[in-house]
Amino acid sequence: MTSPKTLAVSPVHGRLAVFGMAVAVAISIDLHLRLSSQVSPIWQTLSEYVYGYLSPGSTAAPLFGAMCLALGFGSLALLGGIAKAHRKGYESVLVLLGVWCAGLFVLALVPVDPEGQARSLAGQIHNYAALAAFLALPAAAWVLTRPGRARCPWEPRRTTIRRLSVASFAAVVIVLGGFVWTMLTGPSHQEVTLGLFERLLFAVDLTLLATMVRPLLSHR
């Protein structure tokens, strides 16, 4: 005798989350393809696409901002879906996801400092927002899958979510270490391929988000 299926947590929130993520991925691919000769995916970060030119006089800043906003609103839909689950102890998850979303919105509106120029207040805000966001997401995923929660919709994917969280934390540490090294030694002595590791972090976090969204959509 088969056990009855449990209802999906919130299909509407799940679909909105997937749509936002898909738009962000599509824009990211477009930026990589159109600006491949201007921004190195190995050495330069995603944020530096704001200084690329799609055509004479037209920068890629609005497109980069749209990517961050799409991912931010998609993540906000995930936050809403988790809130709709009405599970005890999810408050900290919602706060951490809120930090992730807020960080993405800041990244969309406040540009990073151009390479080689003195650090500005806006650039510092951008950097700290990115750090807070990229630490908050894996932390939210880890707390979401704490053991001992009865009938938690995310329990069947607990191992996958936690492994992706660890991978995300590891990538953040590498990227942060690379930034510190570059600050201490200067851009000419850059040893860590920041662009490559940041793109790896971006891919891991997208996979993590997709795994967290699944219970909003699917029946178990």
Q: Using an 8 Å Cβ cutoff, are 180 and 171 in contact?
A: no
Q: Is residue 147 part of a domain?
A: no
**Structural tokens at position 156:** 């069947």
- The pLDDT of 31-55, averaged and rounded, is 92
The pLDDT tens digits of the residues spanning 110-130 come to 999 887 777 899 999 999 999
The three-point CA angle 37-39-40 to 5° equals 90
Q: Is residue 31 part of a domain?
A: yes
Q: Is residue 190 part of a domain?
A: yes
Q: Is residue 5 part of a domain?
A: no
- The pLDDT of 150-179, averaged and rounded, is 89
Query: What pLDDT is attached to residue 190?
Result: 56
Q: Is residue 149 part of a domain?
A: no
Q: Using an 8 Å Cβ cutoff, are 97 and 75 in contact?
A: yes
Please tell me the distance from the alpha carbon of residue 211 to that of residue 216, in angstroms, as a whole number: 10
Residue in 134, 132, 141, 131 with CA at minimum distance from that of residue 163: 141
Query: What pLDDT is attached to residue 81?
Result: 94
Handedness of CA 84, 87, 91, 96 (dihedral sign): negative
Q: Using an 8 Å Cβ cutoff, are 220 and 153 in contact?
A: yes
Residues 6+ apart with CB under 8 A from 164: 138, 141, 204, 207, 208, 211
Q: Is residue 127 part of a domain?
A: yes
Query: What pLDDT is attached to residue 47?
Result: 93
Total count of domains within the chain: 1
Residue type, 188: S
Range of the domain at 133: 11-142+154-213
pLDDT classification of 8: cutoffs 50, 70, 90: low
Q: Is residue 218 part of a domain?
A: no
The pLDDT tens digits of the residues spanning 203-217 come to 999 999 999 999 998
The pLDDT tens digits of the residues spanning 184-205 come to 666 555 556 788 999 999 999 9
| Exposure class string for 89-98: b at 16+ Cβ within 10 A, else e | ebeebbebbe
CA distances from 168 to 58, 108, 109, 158, 174 (A): 33, 21, 24, 15, 10
Q: Is residue 1 part of a domain?
A: no
Residues 6+ apart with CB under 8 A from 89: 146, 149
pLDDT classification of 105: cutoffs 50, 70, 90: very high
Burial status of residue 176 (CB atoms within 10 A of its CB: 0-12, 13-18, 19 or more): middle
Query: What pLDDT is attached to residue 180?
Result: 77
